[in-house]
Structure 1
């Protein structure tokens, strides 16, 4: 039973992912917790999670630090997209400054299997540089925000899939497909055939919702350019799924007398080992 004399512990989730919504759905009904999810506001009609929701940026690490202090946040979860690198580093700086425990919730990345023809790169610029030698009809699934990296490629034809319509700059020969996962292997097979795709470009976002394209590309013998993830800030503990994150939250928001003993610095407890 929660302590009636103690206000609910405030958990801030930096969200926008399926894992963030699952985490909020699990935590929001708990009377001992107050759950707020922050969304960047880049999607016109986001799927709203359970609990309280705020939309918009914080104004860098300094703005996030102020928000953590003004709203008495007891635990911070970075459950943003694996490629949302800027907010992750802002979260690490803000959490350290405000002395708020921080956890990064990151789904596991994809792993190639026999039959895959993967070309692994470290950036969108490297992905664009790899395309001229691989094919001419490209299925680009890296999101609308990164199209400028491919805008100089005038010869290839691009099929661009995104949730919202992209804005310039973008490749001159391009068709836009507005859609949101999860996607099926059957649907991805049909898409590759209908558009005569001979190269797939994707970020290593992980998860099953968008992995069907990898299976379809492998079956069709299509090369895949895979952009690797940016690193998680040093010193930040990680959880691979919402269940691990729930255990961490319960540990760091429990009364001091009920907490397990840890050897990690108090600013970044890590009870998941």
Structure 2
């Protein structure tokens, strides 16, 4: 995981940090060191003072944490401390790697261990000594599609008609047919046989959904729009960058076309949309 604590090989224990003083943490990255997004950021950071940690690597990256102080192991394998006077910078990529809790039975001892790690992360993510690029509460809100659409409407941005509803006939009457359904929660899952599945956005009719349990795993239903161009916009503070994909000859859900994943091109012609994205992020 990119973390190599200098500890005896037979114990796996983290080194014993100095009682006081020592180097401060400069940067926290919450995610996997092997994640390509995290790797791109790590390439620009020194190993000294940089801590990479998530729920999976917490035992090897954390030495001590209290309400008053914290000691971690940086990428150089040295102990570093949260400073009461100097604020560390932080970026949250992902709290836990994909599949890290696969096979864990709810209510089991293993589940309790994993839950306790998440609670430690939750405390760290709200530590005032760390200035996060995007705080965890804002991040969770932004990743909720209903919250996104509500914020967009408040900001005066156009939003497709959207419902969560148990009645397919109502959806057809309000949205027209076909209409679109997309997952509100995770867009992928592993079945009982260990096979991975992706839940794509798709166009359906009321008849397609007849007899389906639309509340067992609530889906979003939206009016079907015809896209000319797909945009991916990244915002960081007051800055935004856009990549675009020609929507012609790709499926409704472009992720179903393997070539589309590598066909986005950077573009500078969407300045108005970029300003909307910055406004929405705020």
TM-score, normalisation: structure 2: 0.33
Q: Please report the TM-score for the alignment, with normalisation by the length of structure 1.
A: 0.33
Q: Indicate the structure whose relative CO is greater, using CA pairs within 8 Å and at least 6 residues apart.
A: 1
Higher percent of residues as helix: 1
Q: Which has the larger radius of gyration?
A: 2
